[in-house]
Chain A
Amino acid sequence: MPMKTQNSTLNQKPRFHWLSPQMRMFLVLILSVFVIFTFTIPNFYYIRTANLNNILTDSVIPAIFAFGMGIILASRGFDLSLGHIASMIALIVAFLMSGGIKFDPILAVLVGLVVAGLVGLINGLLVSRMGISSFIVTLGMQFLIIGIRQIITHGQSVYISNASFKSLASTQIGISNLVFVLIIIAVLCYILMEKSTFGRKVQFIGENIEASRFMGIDIRQYTMYTFILGAILAAIGGILFAARAGAVQINSVDSKLLDAITIAVFSGVIFGRFKTTGIILVAILISMISTGMSMLGIKTEWIEFMKGFILLSSIFLGKLLNIKSSIFKLKLIHILKRSN
């Protein structure tokens, strides 16, 4: 029986899409948010350069947190302690540079990153070697950190006087240095997660844990790496926050967990996997919405509510667009359930 050789869809030359459908949807979302706030906020204050610059700068720290969370989510793990790790590292770095110790800023930051890596290593070891649910481990770690950082500072805030450390977040050529830091980290994350075998393997574990085991991927090892990377990225976010604020309170970065989860899940749901550009775009979108809302005079608490709402509706959106994302497979599994 003669087969139909002319398959119209196959033989057609692939049209060059300069943007994926998701990307186009994103641009529409961002544009519509932009238009709404341009016309609701009086005097067109929203679209002045200073404000736009501000929006961009505000999106940097959440985006870095979301990179950390996104890497962990990509291998189908979860980390509740990211915000607390970041707070603790910011405290440690500020503490090392202040008072009688007076560390060099570079050394202080290095110590901070090493400590963050160690915390991530503990999380990762407990999850991958002991087989405890990552949710339980990081919840316990959250409370451990609450106690430990209280011991470090006795509940007091630490002020930062070192000018060269503060210049991390200063504005020199019209754009804040934070944006350049974000670009560097984004490029590194892009190479690591989207262009290297490491990233491919991590994403494949998230996609299909059974198949990746048969492929011979060392799941334990890679899960552990994701937790270490996540903790280090969160610590970078915390350090940048400290440089920007000039003072660190004991729990100043805890609430960034909400941003991290919202951005990482939003991007992961829409794109179906870890995508650097997606995370940056969502971070900018959320920064646009929260800046606009606060300019309209809405209280911060309701902006927090809004972020939770965005998190919920992103799942609606993903289901609506019928995207297959490994995040939909996230479950609060009772690890003990399988144990007998």
Chain B
Amino acid sequence: MRAAEVVTASVLMLLGGVVLFDAMRLGFGWGPDGPRSGFFPFWLALIMVLCCAVILVQAVLHGAGQSFVSRERLAPVLTVLWPAVAAVALMHFVGLYVASALYMGFYMRWVGRHSWVAVFALGIGVPVVTFLIFEKWFLVPMPKGPLEHWLGY
């Protein structure tokens, strides 16, 4: 845990530093009509940097403790994460519905080892139902790709 604590606190301190830098650019003092734009971020960032510094010291003094995440525990987290990232990237090209169908199908087959029947039924069924709910009934548009255009939407 200690490494993760130290890294997180350091990253937050760094971000606080960036905010302080921007606040100084904007001016954090008293302007002609009240506090300047940088006033609120400046004080927020300053307190955050101080808090993170204390957390950092606490973490270093506290000792190692258990590890943040073990290698075999991290694997399932990544198997959720990277297909999700891939699916979102895919949405830019083929739209949300097709990307969801591929993502659901892939995950069910690859992780769950479900039968192809189930994979096709749910992989196609879920996007079709969401399509009906969002586009048809509630008129909330989702990102669409070539397939939807070909179907006339």
A and B held together in a complex: no
B residues at A contact (CB < 8 Å): none
A residues at B contact (CB < 8 Å): none
